[in-house]
Amino acid sequence: MAETDEHMHPNLLLMRKYESAWARGDVTEATSYYAEDIVLHLFGRNPLAGEYRGKAAVLGFVHKLLEVTDKIEILENYAILADDRYAVTYIRVRLERAGKKPLEGKRVVVFKLANGKIHDIWNRDEDQYAADEFFS
């Protein structure tokens, strides 16, 4: 039996709305779930890797990501798990960029949540070497 919104953990509902917004390409809605003090942790050794502190910095990263990619797709959403403090998404993504081999693979993203907002994001790609090559 499918779980209805009214019986769903509020953080699971939050994450489903967040992932749905990204899947539709609705960046405005997706980023509306970010807390003002959000910290984005991106692993790797490429120009986009690093730590982005604060909503303005994370929005700057999102705009830069959209500038350097021609297409971003969530191909499959394997799982969204959430409890009172954390959420984890397990997805398959594909990114395209002119002059580069497409980046396609699984991604695990861990979120720290509080008061209905996303406060921290840790992003881990299946093949970090491929991600670094794609963004370099």
CATH number at residue 96: 3.10.450.50
DSSP string covering 23-87, please?
HHT-HHHHHTTEEEEEEEEE-SSSTT-EEEESHHHHHHHHHHHHHH-SEEEEEEEEEEEE-SSEE
Parent domain of 20: 5-135
Q: How many domains does the chain have?
A: 1
Structure tokens at 109: 């993203």
Partners of 42 in the β-ladder: 50, 123
- Two tokens, residue 67: 């500038």
Write down the pLDDT at residue 4: 62
Q: What pLDDT does 129 receive?
A: 96
| DSSP-based three-state secondary structure for 100 | coil
Give the model's pLDDT for residue 23: 87
| Beta carbons within 8 Å of 7's beta carbon, 6+ residues apart | none
Low-confidence ranges of the chain (pLDDT < 50): 1
Structure tokens belonging to residue 9: 């953990």
Contact (Cβ atoms closer than 8 angstroms) between residue 27 and residue 20: no
Q: Are 122 and 41 in contact (CB under 8 A)?
A: yes
pTM across the whole model:
0.91
* Backbone φ and ψ of 69, nearest 5°: -115, 150
